[in-house]
Amino acid sequence: MTTRTPVEPARESDTAAIRSLLDESSAAWMRGDGTAYGRCFTEDATDVTFVGTVYRGGDEIGRAHQALFGGFLKGTRLTLDITDIRFHGTDTAVVVTRGDVGKGRPKRLGKLATYTVVRDAGGRWLIAAVQKTQRKRLMEAVSFRFQPATRPAAR
């Protein structure tokens, strides 16, 4: 995973820990280990999938993903590319990623996810919320063409 935004020197260790957390979640996904995947989340986490399903709590997220790993997500990997990490106070950050799920390395990272991560009382970063969205490039292009002011600022 790569981070494209500059990191404040004082936040380097937090940024590394957050990257490690998302790496850990990807590794659990690749192993098909729903329990380990669920442990990346807080007890009261919210996971909104790109199809609109809402899971609550690390245990439920892990259990549901274990069922998915035994079914149509069997043998897949979660590929994430961190595009932005923004800290809000000392114990909260919002992380935006591009990514996808598939049997190998995807040619295009067509999904976006926004993670809210928090530091627990023991100092460990965990996922408190994630919301995933399928990018619609054609609709985005049409929107930008007919409403140029909707185009985000270049980064």
Q: Which one is the CATH code of 9-150: 3.10.129.10, 3.10.450.50, 3.40.50.300, 3.50.50.60?
A: 3.10.450.50
- Stated as kind and residue range, the H or E segment containing 86 is strand 77-87
pLDDT single digits (tens) 58-108: 999 999 999 999 998 999 999 999 999 999 999 999 999 999 888 877 778
Where in the chain are the domains?
A: 9-150
pLDDT single digits (tens) 25-48: 999 999 999 999 999 999 999 999
Tell me what pLDDT residue 65 has: 95
**Banded model confidence at residue 8, pLDDT cuts 50, 70, 90:** low
From residue 145, how far is each of 67, 133, 139, 141, 148 by CA, in Å?
42, 22, 10, 6, 6
Instruction: Answer whether 99's CB lies under 8 Å from 111's CB.
Output: yes
Tell me what pLDDT residue 135 has: 67
Using alpha carbons only, give the angle 84, 110, 127 rounded to the nearest 5 degrees: 45
The model's pTM? 0.84
**Banded model confidence at residue 137, pLDDT cuts 50, 70, 90:** low
CA–CA separation, 150 vs 66, rounded Å? 39
Instruction: Answer whether 106's CB lies under 8 Å from 10's CB.
Output: no
